[in-house]
Structure 1
Amino acid sequence: MFIETIRIQDGHVCHLSDHTDRMRRTADHFGFTAPTLPIDLASLVPDELRTGTVRCRVMYDHTLREVTFTPYRRRHIERLFAVDAGTTTYAFKYADRAPLARPDVPLGASDELLFVRDGYLTDTSYTNLVLRRGRELVTPDTFLLDGTCRRRLLREGVVHTEPVRLHDLPTYDELLLINAMMPLREAIRLPTTAVHLDFYTFAP
């Protein structure tokens, strides 16, 4: 089972083609035909959610299983805890997020995981990364999920990829957390010092 999380802003569906494209690529990979999203998706939003930011969650496999709408409440993040990604894979947006869980890491309400593979940054458990160095915007070329927002920023030339090592973080000015619900202009912005190494062991 797979999911798409689509931002709806004041009744307007944002970047629908990016989501339908990912559904198609996912279906092609797993050998089924992607279901078609309702053309009138915006009209399905409950009246009480016609203003503000709404999270549309689509669950699907070979057919649409569920479409829900909820008010979007952005998380408040203050700290990122680096953890070893190990063999974690999340190349497709599965409904089952168990591979991204780290029950051994006690996280507070404003804490989030930052996955590191072989010393290189990938993603947090629910966002892609953009790093700012002056006016330059970089996204790691190592990632767990090629998110729709990340993919669009690359396509538009707003960001570019490069390998980003954990120990290179001090050379950047700022970390930005992005996803479909948090485009670049609304990214969670953190200093690079927000990354903690309490649960990460550097390889010898």
Structure 2
Amino acid sequence: MSLLIESICCVDGAIINVHYHNMRMNKSRLDLFGCKDAINILDYITIHEPVNKGIWKIRIHYDEAITSIEYELYKKKSIQSLKVVYDDTIDYSFKYADRSHIAKLFEERNKANDILIIKNGFVTDSSSANVVFYDGYQLLTPTTPLLPGTKRAKLIDEGKIIEKIIKVKDISSFSHVNLINAFLDIGDIVIPVTSIIL
């Protein structure tokens, strides 16, 4: 199994945010393996039936090079609540294929649908998404994500969300939180902070 993965959204045959996926993949290849050549994901993806209709998850497995590609019909999860979990040792600074540490934390969610991971007192991510809080004026994302996502990077570059230090004690000062990832935009999954179980 390859060390890393990249999960890409394909809508009606169009690859979404491929520039940001290319940047993250090539940075990971450089940082972990010293690979200075740039790979373009579009050179490896084949859009065919039925992938040209609907929303698909394209999962790219790679190390120094791309080793395999999987196509899976995307199914949006229903997430209405989060359970705060604490882990000061977790490291997911690269998009590792091995998510066993996160999966173990996910088991602590109790009756909630998902988790909100706190590391050293700072808010990071849910089990599979970056988080964006709303304070009534601005959309704010923690400066401390476990994994800086491609959608997060795009929204920051566009000036739509702002990075801010957010600690667990700050959660109650917001009205709600959005979950964002390659498949989720602002407004797709919105959770009142009253549904975050501390």
Q: TM-score, normalized by length of structure 1? A: 0.87
| Aligned residue number for residue 27 of structure 2 | 25
* Structure 1 portions without partners, runs of 5+: 198-204
Deviation at 1:101, TM superposition (A): 2.4
5 Å-filtered alignment, 1:31-46, equals: 31-33=33-35, 35-39=39-43, 41=45, 44-46=46-48
Report which stretch shifted further, 166-175 or 8-17: 166-175
- Does the Cα contact within 8 Å between 1:3 and 1:94 map onto a contact in 2? yes
Spell out, residue by residue over 1:48-80, the C-alpha distance to the aligned partner (whole angstroms, 9 max, x if none).
231211111000011211111111101111221
Q: Residues 35 and 60 of structure 1 are in contact (CA less than 8 Å); yes or no, is this contact kept in structure 2?
A: no
- Once the two structures are superposed, what CA deviation does each residue of 1:159-197 show, in whole Å capped at 9, x if it has no partner? 1111112222221111000001112253x1100011113
Amino acid paired to 2:43: I
What does residue range 17-96 of structure 1 map to in structure 2 within 5 Å?
Answer: 17-33=19-35, 35-39=39-43, 41=45, 44-96=46-98
Q: Is 1:195 the equivalent of 2:187?
A: no
Q: Percent identity?
A: 28
Contact 1:45 1:69 in 2 (8 A): no
* Residues 163-178 of structure 1 mapped to structure 2, 5 A cutoff: 163-178=165-180
SS at match of 2:117: strand
Structure 2, unmatched stretches of 5+, are none
Mapped to 2, the partners of 1:113 and 1:47 lie a distance apart of 35
Q: How many residues align?
A: 193
Q: Distance in 2 between the 1:96 and 1:5 partners?
A: 14
2:119 aligns with 117
Q: Would the aligned equivalents of 1:173 and 1:192 in 2 still touch at CA under 8 Å? A: yes
SS at match of 2:125: strand
Partner of 1:105 in structure 2?
108
CA distance in 1, matches of 2:58, 2:108: 29
Q: TM-score, normalised by structure 2?
A: 0.90
Mapped to 2, the partners of 1:37 and 1:163 lie a distance apart of 33
Cα distance in 1 for partners of 2:192, 2:151 equals 21
Decide whether aligned partners of structure 1 residues 139 and 106 sit closer, same or farther in structure 2, where only a CA change above 3 A counts. closer
In 2: Cα distance, 1:101 partner to 1:153 partner: 27
Q: CA RMSD in A?
A: 1.8
1:111 CA displacement: 1.3
Alpha-carbon contact 1:128-1:147 (below 8 Å) kept: yes
Provide the rounded CA distance (Å) in 1 between the counterparts of 2:48 and 2:126: 31
